[in-house]
Amino acid sequence: MSRRNIAKKRLVLPDPIYNSKLISMLTVRILKSGKKGIAQKIIYEALDIIKEKTSNYPLEILEKAIRNSTPLVEVKARRVGGSTYQVPIEVRAYRGTNLALRWLTKFSNERSGKNMSLKLANEIIDAANESGSTIRKKEETHRMAEANKAFAHYRY
């Protein structure tokens, strides 16, 4: 991190089809080697699969999945007097959304199968139904924060 000045927040432009900033943020998470067109194609195919499987508007399901998988608290390592404590901190809205998107892409990538759009669609549907690896990760994060509640006074 730079000591000189604070990094400026970049404006997220909405995607061309759904006009949603969430999909743009998801595109950046899926992006590999700068191939944005392929990443967008994967996401749009995944949204089409979601529409077929659930017969609902896919953007609502994506928003619900992200809402369900956004953590409220997380632990952060804090060094106090030679020992490291896991201090629970509340997660800001933007960081929570980022974590949810990161977990969605990570766990959809780890799923079995060869088609990334299908894996992503299934992970989003699972997260919307409050099951799957992404939700498990959120609950694990909450458990860690609960277990280390005693060190909350080390918050800075």
Q: Band of the pLDDT at 1, cuts 50, 70, 90?
A: low
The pLDDT tens digits of the residues spanning 132-143 come to: 999 999 999 999
Mean pLDDT of 115-132: 94
The candidate with the shortest Cα–Cα distance to 46, out of 34, 61, 67, 35, is: 61
Q: Quote the pTM value.
A: 0.90
Pair 53, 128: CB distance under 8 Å:
no
Lowest mean pLDDT among 1-5, 9-13, 87-91, 130-134: 1-5
Task: List domains and CATH numbers for the chain.
Answer: 21-154 (1.10.455.10)
Q: Does the structure show a pLDDT above 80 at 53?
A: yes
| Segment 135-143 long-range contacts (CB within 8 Å, at least 24 positions apart) | 135/68, 135/69, 137/69, 137/103, 137/107, 138/68, 138/69, 138/70, 138/71, 138/100, 138/103, 141/71, 141/73, 141/74, 141/75, 142/71, 142/72, 142/73
Q: Residue 153: what pLDDT?
A: 85
Within 17-92, residue ranges assigned H as helices are 21-30, 36-54, 58-69
Q: Band of the pLDDT at 55, cuts 50, 70, 90?
A: confident
The candidate with the shortest Cα–Cα distance to 135, out of 3, 43, 143, is: 143
Report the share of the chain in percent with pLDDT over 70.
Answer: 98
Mean pLDDT of 73-87: 90
Residues 95, 31: Cα–Cα separation, whole Å: 19
Mean pLDDT of 138-155: 90
Tokens of 54: 């659930």
Q: Does the structure show a pLDDT above 90 at 80?
A: no
Q: Does the structure show a pLDDT above 80 at 2?
A: no
